[in-house]
Amino acid sequence: MAIAGLGACDDRLVVVGGGLAGCEAAWQAARRGVDVTLYEMRPERRSPAHTGDALAELVCSNSLRADRFANAVGLLKEEMRRLGSLILEAADVTRVPAGRALAVDRRAFSAEITERIETHPRIELRREPVDEIPSAPQAILATGPLTSAELTRALQKLLGDEHLYFYDAIAPTVYGDSIDPTVAFSASRWEDGPGDYLNLPLSEEEYRAFVAALSAADTVPLHAFEAALYFEGCLPVEEMARRGLDTLAYGPLKPVGLVDPRSGRRPHAVVQLRREDREGVLYNLVGFQTKLRVGEQRRVFGALPGLSKAVFARFGSVHRNTYVNAPRRLTPSLEVACRPGLRLAGQMAGVEGYVESAALGLLAGVHAARALRGRPPLLPDPQTAHGALMRHLTAGDPAHFQPSNITYGLFPPLEGDGRRIRKREKQERLAVRALDALEAWRPAWDEDVA
Ligand SMILES: Cc1cc2nc3c(=O)[nH]c(=O)nc-3n(C[C@H](O)[C@H](O)[C@H](O)COP(=O)(O)OP(=O)(O)OC[C@H]3O[C@@H](n4cnc5c(N)ncnc54)[C@H](O)[C@@H]3O)c2cc1C
């Protein structure tokens, strides 16, 4: 049922979308003593990527990416932990072994969040689609990259703007027991011991044959205007193959840091498979996001060494991604400039990735809670990872705005003594600076937490 108006009493926050950002936003507001109504359209309606009814469903990979500070997403996660993030708490209790990454048992992760939201005394969960912009004085839209068509239209009308789209593709998963154990070896890159990934080694000849088959395979056609809009950070594997023979060998099939224990040598190329669940029932073909037709995925990926008997649990696919031009439309507290009190959070606000989406939910939830108490927004220090994300959304060039993952490139530069410093040292210094800034800012952040 679509709800008209969605007005709520003045001191109640309305959050639309029970995904990563919406759950985090509702949780942050509720723990500051605000009553929240959280709307989720499932099970009545489902996006093309969501398959279950649990909140905060991870629609593709089960990885929340690197857990170390060498990658800015590791820093962002640490900040979220320190700020009391629900998504990070749930991830930490449901994690599965994945080398240097934080990967989770996807069912346990969503079940944990669903339970915490459903049992919170200040959160009312309503399983209903929302087709209009809420009229409540404080509301957050966090309906994600696959926002329902009805709400997308309402948003378009409100913003008086063309929405921007790009296309992402998701990677297939296969059953672990259908992977040939005489071919696959288990190892994590750069680490000794058995490791958390399964690796399929390819000789130069096998690699060449794979690239040729992939480049020639049949894909789901896109409209011409869509083709130019691929997100560069998440190119379909066949698109990478078409860019040159070596592209994959330097990308997702890179063999560096891996030694095949049978030959004692580094293979020419390696296909990595990452565990999707604690038990190792399902494995994700890392970096194999694709728009190949289903039959072609079975044929081309099934021809890889070790996958001739692979049983696919899920095939890769293409999806639409909806987001707004944040530098043009949003204020530094994630408010829609032309509609005070309405905030956007999550991927639709202009970030990419599970963690980044949840981080914006965290900020939006706190901004809304403060607004309901008549307090000004508490903006994150620009030196923190949260501040760097907001910098991208507010200071980016509106003419070329694209959603982004968190990277160290989004942080304000270090004040230097003119000396050139190595990448590793620079990242370490940015991380230390960010956490110092976060600690200085945190007391104000925690002020209202019940
Ligand atoms: C197919 C696909 C694969 C992706 N793969 C990855 C990946 O592997 N790794 C990664 O880091 N990121 C990935 N992303 C990007 C992104 O990080 C995730 O989509 C992330 O879940 C976004 O979080 P969110 O909270 O903004 O949206 P979501 O988690 O999608 O949550 C939005 C919620 O809003 C609900 N909703 C939508 N419309 C309405 C409505 N009108 N009324 C009520 N409820 C509504 C939806 O049912 C959903 O529960 C992927 C995105 C897609 C689409």
Phi-psi region of 387 (alpha: psi -120 to 50; beta: other; left: phi over 0): alpha
The answer as to whether 190 is a domain residue is yes
Any idea what the Cα angle at residue 238 is, between residues 232 and 240, rounded to 5°? 45
Which residue, judged by its Cα, is nearest atom 5 of ligand 1?
A: 60
pLDDT by residue (tens digit) across 276-300? 777 777 899 999 989 899 999 999 9
Residues 309 and 189 in one domain: yes
Average pLDDT over the chain, rounded to an integer: 90
- Same structural domain for residues 56 and 133? yes
Q: What does pTM read for this prediction?
A: 0.81
- Residue 320 CA: nearest ligand 1 atom is 53
CB 113 within 8 A of CB 71: no
The verdict on 136 and 156 lying in the same domain is yes
Most confident of 119-123, 390-394, 396-400, 424-428: 119-123
**Domain-embedded: residue 6:** no
CATH code, domain with 235: 2.40.30.260
Of 30, 9, 45, 59, the residue nearest 125 (C-alpha): 30
Asked whether residue 136 falls in the same domain as residue 197, the answer is no
Residues 367 and 400 in one domain: yes
User: What is the percent of the chain where pLDDT is above 90?
Assistant: 69
pLDDT at 209: 98
- Verify that 263 and 346 share a domain, yes or no: no
Residue having the nearest C-alpha atom to atom 20 of ligand 1: 354
Q: For residue 7, is it within any domain?
A: no
Whether residues 20 and 55 share a domain: the answer is: yes
- Mean pLDDT, residues 83-94: 98
What residue numbers bound the domain in which 242 lies? 170-320
Alpha carbons 397 and 327: distance in angstroms, whole number: 7
* In-domain check, residue 4: no
Q: Which of 303, 320, 337 is the last residue of a domain?
A: 320
Q: Which of 150-164, 176-190, 236-250 shows the lowest per-residue confidence on average (mean pLDDT)?
A: 150-164
Residue 191 scores a pLDDT above 70: yes
Round to whole Å and give the CA distance between 360 and 21: 6
Q: Is the pLDDT of residue 2 over 60?
A: no
Q: Whose CA is nearest to atom 30 of ligand 1?
A: 144
How far is residue 140's CA from residue 134's CA, in Å, rounded to a whole number?
Answer: 9
Q: Are 271 and 197 in contact (CB under 8 A)?
A: no
CA of 17 to the centre of ligand 1 (A): 9
User: How far, in Å, from the CA of 20 to the mean position of ligand 1?
Assistant: 7
The string of pLDDT tens digits covering residues 314-370 is 888 767 778 899 999 999 999 999 999 999 999 999 998 999 999 999 999 999 999
Q: Provide mean pLDDT across the span 390-397.
A: 87
Residue 54 lies in a domain: yes
Determine the distance separating the centroid of ligand 1 and the alpha carbon of 1, expressed in angstroms: 21
Ligand 1 pocket list (CB less than 6 A):
16-22, 39-42, 47, 49-50, 59-61, 129-130, 142-148, 151, 168, 170, 319, 346-348, 353-354, 357
Question: What pLDDT sits at residue 225?
Answer: 45
Q: Which of 320, 349, 380 is the last residue of a domain?
A: 320
Distance 285 CA to ligand 1 centre (A): 20
Q: Which CATH number covers residue 367?
A: 3.50.50.60
- Non-local (6+) Cβ contacts of 122 within 8 A are 30, 33, 34, 35, 36
Q: Looking at the predicted structure, is the pLDDT value of residue 163 above 80?
A: no
How far apart CA 432 and CA 69 sit, in angstroms, is 9
Least confident of 12-16, 152-156, 209-213: 152-156
Distance CA 20, CA 110 (A): 9
Reported as a pLDDT band with limits 50, 70 and 90, residue 450 is: confident
Structure tokens at 270: 């390696």
Residue 46 has pLDDT above 80, yes or no: yes
Sign of CA dihedral 236, 156, 401, 62: negative
- How confident is the model over 207-251, as pLDDT tens digits? 999 999 999 999 887 654 455 555 555 688 999 999 999 999 999
Pairwise pLDDT comparison (282 vs 419), residue with the higher score: 282
Q: What is the pLDDT of residues 368-378, one digit of tens each?
A: 999 999 999 99
pLDDT score of 185: 96
345-355 pLDDT tens trace? 999 999 989 99
Give the number of domains in the chain.
2
Instruction: Mark which of 297, 320, 343 sits at the end of a domain.
Output: 320
The arithmetic mean of pLDDT across residues 167-189, rounded, is 89
Residues 249 and 359 in one domain: no
Q: Give yes or no: residues 295 and 334 share one domain.
A: no
Structure-token pair, residue 161 = 């703007």
Structural domain includes residue 3: no
Q: Is 182 helix (H, G, I), strand (E, B) or coil?
A: coil
Residues 303 and 360 in one domain: no
Q: 86, 27 in Cβ contact below 8 A?
A: yes
Reported confidence tier of residue 61, pLDDT bands at 50, 70, 90: confident
pLDDT of 331 reads 97
Centre of ligand 1 to C-alpha 57, Å, is 8
Ligand 1: nearest atom to the Cα of 352: 17
Whether 160 shows a pLDDT value over 80: the answer reads: no
- Are residues 277 and 212 located together in one domain of the fold? yes
Domain match, 176 and 311 both: yes
